[in-house]
């Protein structure tokens, strides 16, 4: 491929990424409220929310290794879009807690292919430029999530919240059609990776530090804003559209924050300080959100968790492969994303258990302690 073809494929993949994540997050705002409406306990709700991350914990590393051994990323991008379509269609047809459990797992399978999105996108650029470019691709990820929240809010004005699922299905099919037009940056190289080399990549100290910090962030986020903040909002009288609006405020902050982080803050302050500052924002969010006595206060707190995403997730996504040789980057990215998948799995489950035991304020305050641990760890581990 020449430079012009690589640029075209990179631009196409950017758009595919946007549509893919818009599909996955088209129904995200309503998972917890709908489960509670069905009578599910907080612990069961947390389990169903957490299966999305648990699937990624199990699959991201194997998928990254498989893609690395094949020397091809495009088939996994297409497969991810197909599973997103399956998840939306299945949840619409089997609208029960059991159906949500199964098809949230399918949604997690789709998200597990994010490894191949990032590695394929990075392959369209020079090796030294790949970390910054992959961080930029995270903008399409977050913008897609924002688009999904906007779509859900618009549909909820006149239609049942369930209508977001067919819309997500159509978006996933559009993403799959776009993915089929992509080309690999180079010809398949065959199974060149060995377990010894993969283990060496996984032992990289900086990769481990980035992966553990990302796990802490996603544990906090999935246990709060991506799950039980909807419970807080519902208790304050939020409508279906307002639930989506809460996520729109957060996601808009992430998108804007990504732009500022990549273009301005990262070159000036460096990764370590930005990650620590992001955990600081998460700490204050976990303190303020459960204390909100009015809905507007909860809305005002949402930019804090959005800033945490922008400062921590965006920076670590690019930084994790900083010291990894290009042939090992697929496996290294899979390791990184699998480990933060553990945080995505544990966050809702832990919150649900703590809520059933001691109440929602206690759960949020406990996660504030995790955020403080993350800030201290970032300053120590990312020197």
Percent of the chain whose predicted confidence (pLDDT) is above 90: 37
* CB-based burial label for 370 (10 Å; 0-12, 13-18, 19+): buried
Place of tokens 């109440």: 359
Which pair of tokens denotes residue 62?
Answer: 């194997």
Residue 8 to residues 1, 12, 124, 155, 330: CA-CA distances in angstroms?
11, 6, 9, 33, 22
- If one compares 175 and 321, the residue with the highest pLDDT of the two is 175
Mean pLDDT to the nearest integer, 66-95: 90
pLDDT at 188 over 70: no
Nearest to 259 by CA among 151, 144, 140: 140
The confidence band for 304, taking pLDDT boundaries of 50, 70 and 90, is very high
pLDDT at 197 over 70: no
Residue 290 Cα to chain centre, angstroms:
23
pLDDT at 373 over 70: yes
- Is 313:185 a contact under the CB 8 Å cutoff? no
Mean pLDDT to the nearest integer, 277-282: 96
Nearest to 76 by CA among 87, 64, 88, 85: 64
pLDDT at 153 over 90: no
pLDDT at 321 over 80: no
* Per-residue burial over 50-78, b = 16 or more CB atoms within 10 Å of its CB, e = otherwise: bbbbbbbbbbbbebbbbbbbbbbbbebbb
pLDDT at 191 over 60: no
For 105-140, the pLDDT digits (tens) are 999 999 989 888 888 888 887 766 666 677 678 788
Residues 6+ apart with CB under 8 A from 169: 23, 85, 88, 89, 92
The phi, psi pair for 103, rounded to 5°, reads: -85, -15
Mean pLDDT of the chain: 86
- If one compares 179 and 32, the residue with the highest pLDDT of the two is 179
- Is 142:14 a contact under the CB 8 Å cutoff? no
Percent of the chain whose predicted confidence (pLDDT) is above 70: 94
pLDDT at 213 over 50: yes
pLDDT at 143 over 50: yes
- If one compares 107 and 185, the residue with the highest pLDDT of the two is 107
pLDDT of 47: 84
The confidence band for 189, taking pLDDT boundaries of 50, 70 and 90, is very low
- If one compares 292 and 341, the residue with the highest pLDDT of the two is 292
pLDDT of 202: 73
pLDDT of 128: 65
Helix axes 42-70, 74-93, angle to 10 degrees: 160
């Amino acid at each position: 491929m020449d430079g012009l073809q690589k640029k075209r494929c990179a631009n196409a993949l950017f758009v595919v990424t946007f549509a893919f994540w818009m599909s996955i997050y088209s129904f995200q705002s309503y998972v917890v409220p709908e489960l509670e409406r069905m009578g599910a306990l907080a612990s069961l709700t947390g389990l169903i929310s957490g299966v999305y991350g648990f699937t990624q914990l199990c699959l991201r590393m194997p998928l990254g290794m498989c893609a690395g051994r094949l020397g091809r990323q495009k088939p996994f991008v297409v497969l991810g879009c197909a599973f997103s379509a399956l998840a939306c269609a299945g949840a619409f047809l089997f609208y029960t807690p059991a159906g949500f459990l199964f098809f949230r797992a399918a949604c997690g399978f789709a998200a597990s292919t994010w490894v191949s999105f990032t590695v394929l996108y990075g392959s369209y650029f020079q090796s030294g430029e790949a970390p910054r470019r992959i961080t930029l691709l995270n903008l399409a990820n977050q913008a897609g999530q924002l688009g999904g929240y906007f779509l859900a809010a618009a549909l909820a004005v006149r239609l049942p919240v369930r209508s977001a699922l067919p819309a997500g299905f159509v978006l996933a099919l559009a993403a799959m059609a776009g993915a089929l037009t992509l080309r690999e940056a180079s010809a398949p190289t065959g199974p060149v990776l060995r377990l010894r080399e993969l283990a060496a990549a996984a032992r990289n100290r900086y990769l481990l530090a980035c992966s553990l910090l990302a796990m802490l962030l996603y544990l906090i986020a999935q246990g709060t804003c991506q799950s039980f903040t909807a419970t807080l909002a519902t208790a304050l009288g939020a409508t279906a559209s307002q639930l989506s609006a809460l996520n729109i405020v957060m996601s808009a902050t992430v998108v804007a924050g990504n732009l500022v982080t990549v273009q301005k803050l990262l070159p000036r302050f460096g990764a370590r300080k930005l990650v620590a500052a992001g955990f600081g924002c998460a700490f204050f969010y976990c303190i303020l959100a459960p204390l909100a006595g009015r809905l507007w206060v909860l809305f005002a707190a949402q930019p804090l968790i959005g800033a945490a995403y922008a400062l921590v997730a965006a920076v670590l996504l690019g930084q994790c492969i900083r010291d990894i040789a290009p042939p090992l980057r697929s496996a290294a990215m899979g390791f990184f994303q699998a480990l933060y998948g553990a945080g995505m799995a544990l966050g809702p489950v832990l919150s649900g258990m703590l809520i059933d035991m001691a109440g929602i304020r206690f759960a949020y305050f406990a996660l504030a302690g995790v955020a403080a641990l993350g800030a201290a760890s970032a300053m120590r581990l990312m020197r």
